């Protein structure tokens, strides 16, 4: 039987090939099984392509933003809240790719490699967010039908209290959902806070100011002349007023274009780029693992006139609201940015906490001293220009911007800042597209949201 | 309130069962392997001692070749001896027999042998001028051979535990709507297997049957989950297959009768195929069904048994001169018939099995290479010119790009596998069953979805166990027939589950073949049990171990 035994060894080859095939399959499984299981045709999770097996999404107070009831995904019963938190929560079809329904699908369905989509209760994991539904609703109300975004976060802990993006729609209104899918509301699936970018306009003067404070020992006493504008490279940069000889504090409060265009040119392209990048321009940002659009600042080998415009937040500058909010928060937090986060806690249905959100400190952006000086200057802006009475009870530090977005179009109103309040350490960014004047339109929105936040959080 | 309580119990049971079934499965298979691969010492039934004292060989196998070749059991490295001179066979009934297989003349007690001769103790055998005597065997070390195999009752209890848990899972899944067939059939299976075990007194590598019952359990579970009304049919098929299994086992005790049946088995298979070609009916794309009254059967499944039977019987004795033409002709008929029925997947299985049999018979690597090249050409032609095959190939490795049409089945299978994770959703809790052919061609998906990847791997590892078992039993089996048949069967199983698993997961083109024992289908179930008899025989039909 020796001969037979030798020949029978072919079974080793056959079995070996088979086992190798299975090994390859198992490797592919470990890499790809999540994509397989979360494919929208999987009826364990989706019904007619719409997500159903998923846990609750709640705001910071436990208010349910979305949950599955009787095999159906339902949102908050208040339409205003539904619309305000749509981009945070996400739609049912996954069109809003940055919404939790899409980006936290694994966590919501409870999917993992070991358990697949099995869930003891059939409902996956719950996500508690740091959002406050009422503050979000207030922000939506304040935007008053205009497109734009409002972001508010705690600059000490990183908790995002408010994140609203418009246009939005009511997911529970079938007609509106259809219209959204048909593209009737342009850009409705984009969360502008994360995926949008805007011309920063005069709010960028904060960056130029920071660069000046660190670069020139006489930053406060530096004088430039404003003749209702200034001529650079043979081109006229006009100013809102005729400020004459003006210094930093007043120039920032009055947002003097002549001052900052000359200052930017004096600082030069290297220093301006260095500070823009300190503030997060050209850097990648993400929130809860969801990548944001990268901001843009590039003055390499440009003419002085371009550098001047860039120093005032125009030219090719683009800020992303998340990045901008983080930078503003860093000023408030003594120069150290705290990364914003929205996913606070992921718990199984049995109450087991799978993941805890935490805002981690980024690397120092500015010295504590510079941050303190910027804080004072921004507080001064409110005092002498925006009017403390417009922000009752809020110790506000802010900068407005009226961002030119092209010939013949109403500028975007941009308003950024923070509260100098240990008990309510909030930073915010407001953009109202086509809103017009930054301080009046943006400021009104900011006040409405911050008042709501103050009511809810203290 | 009561409903909620019941739901809680049900959910909690499934939660536990998800872990218990794979755990018990692993333990069960380990015990089976431990039992199956524990071999006693081979008995020494006789000795060959050279008259000049040069040779002293203990005969421990049913067939021992004598010759100059390195591959011979009794190697006589003298130029005058043929490379393969003779084969000495031993059978408990008729004792020793010598068959001339080379060019040397063989003398027994100085009388020339014509073809073959029976041998007595102390006979002198001369081949190529070398003389030796057949002497009685010596009893080996008594201590080691007296080892009595423990009865694997625990293994059987594990099997039953798995079956009960799966049945309970199904009961919890269907609750009051459960088809009465399901509990009846599961209990009948448990009762039937215990009757069988007790009847066989747990002796003689009973783990092979246990693995068969284990696989059948998953077959029934898949049927219960996807098509509850088919469970009874599936059970009856398993019972029929079991009957064939038992009859085959009895038949194989008489190797001479087995050999004589070869032409009849071949003839019967060809007739069945011809009937299929002319009177067959088309179901699910291929015309490989025939109807007897209201029952439809798939001859191509049943003929697998005949195919291996005929193929293995080609080589009756080691180094016998029979050529393989008869078998190659038979294979060509089977393959041609399958192509006419457009059942290319099964044709491929037959072809691979044929290669294994031919290699086992001839050891001729060139022949195998030639056939493989021929098949490759044929495959290219089929892929080019048969539209539905070409269509399937166009989605191959791009299933997700065609998730709504050509890749529908594969993507649904992968979704199911991903959903199940390691431990599954619980018996009956899958969704894949609504996809066409889920319980047959895509059954690996159902296994993974409901029982999890670990259980699915346990199920398919059974077939790897069969292959290694066939290999390990070869040195001690009574006849080359059993060795060839067992290896061919294990090979057939492996090729078939490869096509099934890798086809449904887009690693190979989807050919639409079943997984033995597990896929829903009566003919497949009967054939699986029938084929298992070959695996069983290779371990059972051995020389009796000393002092049992």
For residue B381, the tally of other CB atoms under 10 A from its CB is: 10
Give the helix ranges, DSSP H, for B261-321: 262-279, 299-312
In a domain, A310, yes or no: yes
Residues A2, B72: C-beta atoms closer than 8 Å:
yes
DSSP class of residue A390 equals: G
Residues B468, A15: C-beta atoms closer than 8 Å:
yes
Assign B141 a pLDDT band (cuts: 50, 70, 90). Answer: low
- For residue B83, the model assigns a pLDDT of 85
Indicate the CATH number for domain B48-136: 2.60.200.20
Non-local CB neighbours of B265 within 8 Å, separated by 6+ positions:
B306, B309, B310
Residues A1, B426: C-beta atoms closer than 8 Å:
no
- For residue B146, the model assigns a pLDDT of 47
**What pLDDT digit, counting tens, does each position of A425-450 carry?**
999 999 999 888 877 888 899 999 99
Total count of domains within chain A? 1
Residues A22, B356: C-beta atoms closer than 8 Å:
no
Residues A11, B483: C-beta atoms closer than 8 Å:
no
Chain B residue with minimal CA distance to A33? B418
- Looking at the predicted structure, is the pLDDT value of residue B412 above 70? yes
Q: Which residues pair with B111 in a beta bridge?
A: B108
Identify the CA nearest to B276 among candidates B296, B259, B246, B255.
B296
A29 at the B interface (CB within 8 A)? yes
In a domain, A38, yes or no: no
In a domain, A239, yes or no: yes
Average pLDDT, chain A: 91
Q: Hey, which residues 3-22 in chain A have their CB within 8 Å of chain B?
A: 3-12, 14-15, 17-19, 21-22
| d(C-alpha B533, C-alpha B470), whole Å | 12
- Looking at the predicted structure, is the pLDDT value of residue B39 above 90? no
Location of each CATH 2.60.200.20 domain in chain B:
48-136
- For residue B150, the model assigns a pLDDT of 80
Give the whole-number percent of chain B exceeding pLDDT 90.
55
- Looking at the predicted structure, is the pLDDT value of residue A353 above 70? yes
Q: Burial code of A276-294, b = ≥16 C-beta within 10 A, e = fewer?
A: bebbbbebebebbebebbe
- Looking at the predicted structure, is the pLDDT value of residue B147 above 70? no
Give the whole-number percent of chain A exceeding pLDDT 90.
62
ipTM of the complex: 0.94
In a domain, A233, yes or no: yes
Q: Please name the member of B419, B497, B502 whose beta carbon is closest to the beta carbon of A37.
A: B419
Assign B318 a pLDDT band (cuts: 50, 70, 90). Answer: very low
- Looking at the predicted structure, is the pLDDT value of residue B344 above 90? no
In a domain, A424, yes or no: no
In a domain, A301, yes or no: yes
**What pLDDT digit, counting tens, does each position of B475-503 carry?**
888 888 899 999 999 999 999 999 999 99
Task: Look at residue A378 and give its three-state secondary structure.
Answer: helix
CATH of the domain at A245: 3.40.710.10
Chain A residue with minimal CA distance to B467? A11
Q: Which two tokens stand for residue A207?
A: 């960056």
Distances (CA, A) of B498 to A346, A419, B446: 40, 66, 16
Distances (CA, A) of A408 to A198, A405, A431, A437: 17, 9, 19, 15
The residue range of the domain holding A291 is: 199-316
Q: Please tell me the pTM assigned to this model.
A: 0.86
| d(C-alpha B127, C-alpha B106), whole Å | 5
């Amino acid at each position: 039987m020796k001969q037979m035994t030798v020949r029978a060894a072919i079974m080793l080859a056959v079995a070996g090939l088979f086992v190798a095939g299975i090994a390859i399959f198992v490797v592919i499984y470990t890499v790809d099984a999540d994509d397989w299981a979360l494919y929208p045709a999987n009826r364990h999770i989706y019904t007619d392509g719409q997500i159903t097996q998923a846990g609750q999404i709640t705001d910071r107070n436990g208010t349910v933003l979305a949950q599955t009831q009787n095999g159906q995904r339902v949102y908050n019963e208040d339409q205003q809240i539904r619309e305000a938190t749509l981009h945070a929560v996400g739609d049912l079809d996954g069109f809003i790719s940055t919404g939790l329904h899409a980006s936290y699908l694994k966590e919501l369905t409870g999917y993992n490699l070991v358990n697949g989509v099995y869930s003891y209760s059939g409902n996956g994991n719950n996500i508690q967010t740091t959002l406050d539904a009422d503050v979000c609703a207030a922000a939506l109300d304040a935007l008053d039908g205009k497109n734009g975004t409002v972001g508010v976060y705690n600059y000490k802990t990183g908790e995002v209290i408010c994140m609203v993006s418009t246009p939005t729609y009511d997911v529970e209104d079938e007609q509106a959902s259809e219209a959204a899918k048909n593209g009737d509301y342009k850009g409705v699936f984009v969360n502008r806070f994360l995926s949008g970018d805007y011309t920063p306009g005069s709010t960028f003067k904060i960056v130029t100011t920071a660069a000046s404070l660190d670069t020139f020992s006489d930053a406060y006493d530096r004088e430039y002349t404003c003749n209702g504008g200034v001529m650079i490279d043979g081109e006229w940069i006009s100013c809102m007023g005729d400020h004459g000889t003006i210094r930093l504090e007043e120039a920032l409060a009055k947002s003097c274009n002549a001052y900052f265009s000359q200052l930017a040119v004096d600082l030069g392209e290297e220093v301006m780029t260095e500070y823009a990048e300190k503030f997060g321009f050209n850097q990648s940002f993400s929130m809860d693992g969801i990548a944001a659009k990268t901001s843009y600042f590039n003055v390499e080998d440009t003419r002085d006139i371009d550098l001047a415009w860039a120093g005032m937040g125009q030219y090719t500058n683009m800020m992303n609201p998340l990045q901008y909010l983080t930078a503003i928060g860093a000023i408030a937090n003594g120069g150290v940015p705290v990364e914003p986060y929205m996913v606070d806690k992921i718990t199984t249905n049995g109450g087991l906490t799978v993941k805890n959100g935490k805002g981690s400190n980024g690397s120092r952006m500015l010295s504590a001293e510079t941050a303190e000086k910027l804080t004072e200057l921004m507080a001064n802006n409110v005092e002498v220009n925006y009017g403390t009475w417009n922000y009752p009870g809020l110790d506000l530090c802010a900068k407005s911007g009226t961002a030119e977005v092209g010939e013949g179009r109403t500028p975007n109103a941009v308003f950024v800042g923070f509260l100098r309040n240990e008990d309510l350490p909030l930073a915010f960014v407001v953009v109202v597209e086509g809103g017009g004047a930054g301080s009046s339109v943006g400021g009104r929105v900011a006040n409405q949201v911050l008042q709501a936040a103050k009511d809810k959080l203290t | 309130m009561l409903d909620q309580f019941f739901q809680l119990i049900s959910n909690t049971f499934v939660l536990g069962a998800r872990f218990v079934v794979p755990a018990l499965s692993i333990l069960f298979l380990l015990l089976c392997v431990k039992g199956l691969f524990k071999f006693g010492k081979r008995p020494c039934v006789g000795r060959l001692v050279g008259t000049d004292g040069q040779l002293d060989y203990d005969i421990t196998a049913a067939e021992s070749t004598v010759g100059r070749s390195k591959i011979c059991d009794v190697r006589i490295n003298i130029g005058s001896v043929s490379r393969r001179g003779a084969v000495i066979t031993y059978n408990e009934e008729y004792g020793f027999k010598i068959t001339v297989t080379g060019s040397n003349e063989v003398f027994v007690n100085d009388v020339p042998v014509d073809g073959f001769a029976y041998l007595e103790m102390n006979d002198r055998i001369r081949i190529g001028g070398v003389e030796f005597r057949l002497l009685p065997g010596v009893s080996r070390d008594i201590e080691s051979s007296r080892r009595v195999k423990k009865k694997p009752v625990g293994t059987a209890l594990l099997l039953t535990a798995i079956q009960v848990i799966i049945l309970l899972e199904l009961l919890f899944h269907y609750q009051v709507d459960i088809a009465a067939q399901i509990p009846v059939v599961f209990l009948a299976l448990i009762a039937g297997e215990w009757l069988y075990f007790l009847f066989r007194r747990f002796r003689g590598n009973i783990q092979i049957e246990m693995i068969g019952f284990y696989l059948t359990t998953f077959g029934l579970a898949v049927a219960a989950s996807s098509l509850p009304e088919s469970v009874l049919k599936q059970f009856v098929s398993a019972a029929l297959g079991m009957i064939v299994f038992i009859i085959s086992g009895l038949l194989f005790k008489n190797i001479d009768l087995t050999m004589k049946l070869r032409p009849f088995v071949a003839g019967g298979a060809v007739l069945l195929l011809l009937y299929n070609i002319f009177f067959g009916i088309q179901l699910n794309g291929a015309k490989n069904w025939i109807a007897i009254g209201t029952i439809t059967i798939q001859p191509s499944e049943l003929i697998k048994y005949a195919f291996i039977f005929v193929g293995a019987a080609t080589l009756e004795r080691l180094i016998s001169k029979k050529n393989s033409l008869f078998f190659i002709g038979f294979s060509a008929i089977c393959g041609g018939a399958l192509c006419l029925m457009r059942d290319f997947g099964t044709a491929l299985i037959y072809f691979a099995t044929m290669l294994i049999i031919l290699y086992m018979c001839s050891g001729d690597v060139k022949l195998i290479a030639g056939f493989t090249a021929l098949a490759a050409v044929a495959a290219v032609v089929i892929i080019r010119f048969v539209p539905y095959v070409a269509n399937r190939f166009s989605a191959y490795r791009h299933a997700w790009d065609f998730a709504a049409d050509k890749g529908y089945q594969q993507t649904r299978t992968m979704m199911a596998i991903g959903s199940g994770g390691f431990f599954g959703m619980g018996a009956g809790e899958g969704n894949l069953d609504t996809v066409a052919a889920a319980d047959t061609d895509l059954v690996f998906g159902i296994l993974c979805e409901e029982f999890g990847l670990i259980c699915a791997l346990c199920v398919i590892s059974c077939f790897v166990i069969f292959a290694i078992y066939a290999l390990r039993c070869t040195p001690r089996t009574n006849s080359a027939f059993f060795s060839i048949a067992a290896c061919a069967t294990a090979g057939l199983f492996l090729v078939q589950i490869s096509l099934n698993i890798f086809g449904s997961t887009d690693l190979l083109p989807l050919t639409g073949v079943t997984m033995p024992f597990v896929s829903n289908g009566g003919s497949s179930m009967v054939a699986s049990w029938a084929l298992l008899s070959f695996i069983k025989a290779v371990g059972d039909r051995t020389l009796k171990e000393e002092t049992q």
